[in-house]
Every structure is written in structure tokens, then in C-alpha cells.
Chains A and B, each alone.
Chain A
């Protein structure tokens, strides 16, 4: 029996068609109905305009799109034979604002999506406070705005630099907001200090505390989410950053990667029209995002969790929450390391001299985000965007399921809908 389900609050919406057998999901397909034609809109324009247009692919992760664009343009410069030198300051500030967007995303996902959704299927009473997510996210956004002018839809990254020229007081303000945010995370979410949380070795360490996070952890266990929602146990991290390692993992084994193996193909969605394309690496489906990134970092609690619960829904949720703490800590290091005396922009040739291809890859909140461009005298000949949700939430055939299709298999419909959200889905990005 096919049951069609509308899913919302995934930055837009999607339909999942469940093929149910004995009240269990035998197979499922996913469709995204809304298409905006971003790539088409970009074609024929000066590529610098992409710095304004691509952040508007997505309201929640537009900053990652901005950084993917700027990286793609800089790569095209290099391929055209021009040097791009980024000062340490440029790299740190870009990285910092990218991370702050990831943090605002994770806070919203935690309080506005995962806790409310989980509370629908557990007996334990979870406190639903969605606006905590908005509040904490708004503090993270302030830090982006100090450097980027505003969030969402900042365009402050430009080829070979950033437009801002921060002074000491900007750095102090950013540090203060970050401290405020860390303090919120400790008091309102964790129930322990960030330092203690980051030193956790095992999930059992949650047992001694009582907080939003520990309640969430207990609730996941209570419905057996540590034994459900398994996917391929293959992970992909393509974005080069100070906070993760570019690699793919099969179980716990790490391999090198090359972006030339990333391909997209038509989605399989026999029941509904979909505009989404599936993304694959070397013709295989991989999971991308927080769990993948944390796996690549060899963090004790993540290794421990993975050893016991593999890539279960539990691991996926808890890795994302761990990443929240990990990134807050990393952001602190980045801010402290900014040398305001360095240049905000370095010399760069006029874009009209660039006729070349370029690729820009970043780690967006939901995983690896890829922008591929082809320029002719600075004008966009073609622009291709591949988003993390295309890796995680592809819709394929039963013999070759995507991460989400595999993760939902064998579950009840309610469980499957929850597992769907453990990937943190972005509809608007998927059908850009």
C-alpha cells in the first residue's frame, strides 16, 4: 500500500511516498515539487553577481552558498593562471562566519525540528521550546553581521578577500556574543560546561546530567533510535576547512577523495513529479553532514558512539549536537586568532580576464555543498550547484537506495518520518 505524506518544516516541503508492508516501510521515494531555476538565472551574468544571487538559494544556509561561490571564482582565477593569495585573517573570518551559520542552523534544528518531532513519538515528556532555537540562532547571526553586515543574505566575501575591515571593537563584540552563546548552550541546552561536554568519552556521560540534551538523548534511546535508522555507514566530507578532514569513510576506514567523482543523476520518483537530482560519489551513495564531519575528526565520543550504534538515527542526532559544541569551541579559537592588521583583500586581476572552469566546495550545515562554474571573460557560461540534501535525501530505486531510503526501511511510518528529519533536510537547496 502506498501512503503519500507531506513533510514540512524542512526549509520548504517534500512528499514521501511510503510503500508499506505489514505497517513497515518496505520502500519509499521522495519528491521535491518546487523548482526555482537558480542555475538558469545565473547564466549569462557577470560572475560577481553570483555573490549576491547564490546566497538567495537558501534562507538558512545562504552563507555557505556565498562561500562556495567565492571559492569557485577563486578556483577559476587559479585555473586561468592568476594567483589568489588569502591572508590568514581572510580565511579565519570566512571560516568563522560559515561556522556561525552552521551553529544557528543546528540550534534551530534542535529546538524547532528535532525536539518537537521526537516528542510526537516518545512517551517521555519533552519540553517543546522552539523559540529557544530562534533566540540562540539570532546571537550566532549577530556574529556573522559584525563581519558580513547582515544575516541572512550577506555578500561580504569577494574574490581574494572580504569586504569588511574589522577593528578591535568588532572582535571584542564578536567574542562577547560568542561567550553569550556558549553560556546559553551550557545553561539552556547542555546542563554542563562546554569544556566538560567536549571531554565526554561515551554516551553514558549524559546519564549524570539533566538538561534539554540529556532528555533528548534519553528519549532517543527510549524508542530504540540507537538501533534504527541505519544507512550505508559511508560518509563523505568534501569541503576543505580547519574543522574537518576532506575524505570519505566506509565504516571507520578513511579514503582520499577527488571532486571529479561527484555526479548527479535523475531521481526515481514514480508517484510524484520531482525536480531533485540525486548526488553520488563514484556511483555510490554517501551520507554527508555532521555525523560525517565528526567521524572524520576521530573524536572519542563519536568513535565510541559509532562503534556501538553505527550510523543509527541516534548517532546522527547526537553527532549534530556534539558538532554544535565542537564548532562553538572552534569559533572561539578562530576569533582569538584574527590579526586585524592583516589585509582584508589582496590584489586580484579583473574578473573580465578570467575564462576558465572553477569548483568551490564548502561544508554547509547539512554537509558538502558544491558549486561548479564555467566562465568566459568573467561571464557565467554555466553554473551547477550540488547540495548536501541531494546526497542524503536522494530518491533512487530499491536495488540502490539512497541514505535516507535505506535509513527509513523497515520502520513504522512515524519512525520513518522522524528518521527522515535526523538528516536535517533542506528542500529549497535541493531544488535550487
Chain B
């Protein structure tokens, strides 16, 4: 006889309108094998496990944990069955529903494929009108385009360990979405002293003023838990695009929206007046060290 603690939670990974980016991001997880071993894998889209999608589409199985990737399109059919019917069948029985990626959380990139009908599971942008709002107590949103593998790794580990996951007001784990993606950026000192990056392709300077960086307005732990365990967008000079927020994708990703040179959006929770005062004063000082190259290769020859 199996002891109850030996019974692993069953897991199904279902996809809507997607690029598989969350799948491939998740496959980078360093403890993938260990994590998967904690679940009874009913269906995964990326490798052969117990059942095929053909079986899944018959809607006769069930699972404890349902992962959903992609935008929900109410008219989408998979294997001739309405995705809506498949989703609702598994969602009703599941104990936990995890929306992985911004598409599943808020509609994301592929909301634009059919803007009048596509949405996330709970949200359409930040409107709470998704297909699973009745089951909201079971839903965990892991926004991000794509998700960081550790974010799903953390969430599944907590579920496997029977631990409670505290969520924010967009149903995202506070553990992962309380930080701003600005936190831990190697360019922080340039932000503090208002030293703009003059161009792309330099490790010096902050990308907030000209290059469109949304890190101070974006809830994500990208610079706390590094990507692929090595880096992050802002560290290597690409602006944060705010991909974990309900308004992703915005427009003009590489340009800061300004009103008469004043950034339209400023760090979360900071009154604009206070920000402008602080920024103006910081800009007054010219810190020589921050104006030069971080490493002066020429003199170290």
C-alpha cells in the first residue's frame, strides 16, 4: 500500500496561443530532473510522458496541477476540440492552476492576434474578466515574457512541498514579484547619479533616461535571480521591456517616453515632484568616476 505522502501530485501542461517560450525557458532550470521527479507527469508538450495530447483532448483524465501557457483564445480548437472545453475540464478538478507567462496571465503578446476575444486566464490586461475568474482562488499568475525558469521552479516546489504561496493583488507570488527588475541592476549607481547611457553597447550609464528601460516600474526579480544563471537584459545593456506587467507589450521599447525631456513614467510609488527634485539635484554633480569608462583598458596595457 502506498503511503499518502508517497503519492505525487499529478501534472498537466496545456498550451493556448503560444510561441513555447515559457516551455523553453523552463527547460533551462538547473534542477529540472529533480523537480519533475516530484510530480506524476500526465502530459507535457515538450517530452513524451504518460499520455499524448490525443488522450488529453478526450477530457477523461484529471490533474492536481494544471499549467497553462499561452493566450486563451475562446475559439481555438486543438485536435478538433475547443480549447475552452479542455481547459475548463482540467481546471475544475485541479487544485492549482498556474498561468505561465504574460500571455496566460494577462493576454500578453498574443492578445493582439485577436484583440477582441483573446485574454489571460484571469485577466485581460488588468481587467479581471478572464475565462477562469470563477476559479480565481486556485490560480497563480507567473507573468513574464517568458517566465524565468526559477519562478516556475519555485512555484512547483512550493506546491510539491505542500507549502502556501502568498500572492500579490495580481495573483503573482510575492516572493517573485515584490522586487522591481531594477533591484540588483549593475547600473544602479548610474541611475542614482542620473548618468545616462550615451548609446547602446556600453556597460556604463543607465538606460532609464533615453533607451526606454522600464526596470524601475516593473515587478520582477530578473536582477536578483539572474537569467540562465549568468546575466540579465539590463546588465548587458538591453532595456527592461516591462514584460511582467499587464500592459506588456507596450510600444517604442527602445525609447523613453518623455514630456519635454521629463520621463513620463517614473519609479513606482515615487511622486513625480519628488523624483524631479532629486533627479535635478543629482544631475548637478558631475561625478568623474561615473563619466568615464568603468575599465580603462588603454592604461592597463
Contact = CB atoms under 8 A, between A and B. Distances in A.
* Interface majority SS (helix, strand, loop, mixed), chain B: loop
A167 B79 CA distance: 50
Interface in A136-177: 137-138, 141-142, 144-156, 158, 161-165, 167, 173
A421 to B, nearest CB: 12
Contacts of A51: 253-254
B239 to A, nearest CB: 8
Contacts of A167: 203, 295
A156 B237 contact: yes
A185 to B, nearest CB: 18
A60 B23 CA distance: 9
A13 interface: yes
A148 B197 CA distance: 18
A343 B201 contact: yes
B178 interface: no
Interface stretch (B1-9, B166-174, B223-231, B257-265): B223-231
Q: Which of B15, B32, B253 has the most CB of A within 10 A?
A: B253
Contacts of B110: 36
A49 B24 contact: no
Interface in B64-104: 76-79
A3 B208 CA distance: 56
B236 A147 contact: yes
Interface string B27-63: 1111011001000000001111000111000000000
Interface in B107-157: 109-110, 112-114, 145-146
A99 interface: no
Interface residues of B, number: 62
Interface in B153-185: none
B25 interface: yes
B227 A145 contact: yes
Contacts of A141: 28, 228
A165 B202 contact: yes
Interface string A83-121: 000000000000000000000000010001000100000
Contacts of A130: 47-48
Interface stretch (A4-12, A260-268, A355-363): A4-12
Interface stretch (A40-48, A242-250, A313-321): A40-48
A116 B227 contact: no
Given A52-B249, A138-B28, A149-B232, A165 B237 contact: yes
Q: Which of B32, B230, B241 has the most CB of A within 10 A?
A: B230
A89 to B, nearest CB: 10
Q: Which of A12, A13, A108, A163 has the most CB of B within 10 A?
A: A163
Contacts of B231: 145-146, 149-150
Contacts of A49: 249, 251-254
Contacts of A131: 32-33, 36, 47
B22 interface: yes
4 nearest interchain CB pairs?
A: A344-B201, A59-B20, A345-B201, A150-B227
12 contacts: A36-B19, A45-B251, A53-B109, A112-B47, A128-B48, A134-B28, A150-B227, A151-B227, A155-B233, A156-B236, A163-B236, A165-B201
